[in-house]
Amino acid sequence: MLRLLVVVPIIIIMAMTVQISMAQLYSDGDTMRVVGVDGIPGDTVSLPFYLFNDFHVGGFQLRVSYDINTFAPVSMTLAPRAQSFELYGANFSQPGIITFAATSWDPRINAISPGSGTIVDLKLAIRNQAVPDSYLVKFEDPDSSSHQNALSNTRGDSLVVPVLDVRFVRVFPGAGISEGEMLPQYVALEQNYPNPFNGSTVISFTLSEPQVVDLIVYDILGEQVTTLLSGLMPAGETSITWNGIDDHGRVLVSGIYLYRLKEVGGRTLTQKMTLLK
């Protein structure tokens, strides 16, 4: 048993890194996502990496690129959802590129269970000379045939290439902003993922300051289906999983649905999603 515990994670990381003897699968549902944040020159921001997975993940590796004139990497740490994993490298040595790999000592027992949530937090320093703009910290493989942004199953014999989704890191001007002053107010409602979906999907929105909002799902005729949340929500990104069930506990039929984020006394943002059975 001791030999198994030592060998399994090494096999997974080696196999993911050099892609030896692994079946390569492309997923249209499992999604790795960089969550967008805001900051000003001189700030250090925390950039979450959010994983939606429908199988038990025994290991993962990431390779992301960033603008070297705007950011400097500080650290990359495992989030609570991946707390059973061990870090096998957070390499910042190549300018503009960060690589990262992690697995469990016994991935068949301590895997990341199916679900959604943050698995990694990347801290970036915004350089003092950064030009205010929107920047992508994006998943980037070294070439078209190497998939260094990937997940492995618990046996280490399958490499799953997930859907890769990114958001902007927005840098605002620092001059004239006093301590404690809020960044310009905005509200964003993201496209759900996966979409179309069968079973469950994740809906995310971002607020620049705490405020009262309603997130409601409607059918294509405009009839209310379910209220996903209602009340005071914090600044930053909020994500919620919807399983295609209405307020009465009924499973909904296939079709197009609308989800709306309503600010109290403010705007209403709407997106479409497709449920497939």
- CA dist 102 and 110 (Å) reads 12
156 in the same domain as 43 = yes
Domain co-membership, 144 together with 198 = no
Q: Where are the alpha helices (DSSP H) in the chain?
A: 2-18
- Check residue 111 and give its pLDDT: 92
Question: What are the mean pLDDT values of the chain's consecutive 10-residue runs (277 residues total)?
Answer: 39 49 76 84 89 92 93 91 85 90 86 90 91 88 82 85 84 60 64 89 86 90 91 85 92 93 80 90
Same domain, 73 and 150: yes
Instruction: For residues 10 and 123, state if they share a domain.
Output: yes
| pLDDT score of 119 | 93
Residue 146 belongs to domain spanning? 2-16+24-171
| Structural domain includes residue 180 | no
- Rounded CA separation 115/227 (Å): 21
| pLDDT for 91 | 83
pLDDT at 58: 92
Residues β-bridged to residue 23: 158
Rg of the Cα trace of the chain? Answer: 20
Dist CA 69 CA 127 (whole Å): 7
Q: For residue 20, what pLDDT is reported? A: 47
One domain, residues 115 and 198 = no
Number of domains comprising the chain: 2
CA-nearest of 62, 77, 71, 59 to 122 is: 77
Distances (CA, A) of 131 to 171, 172, 175: 7, 8, 12
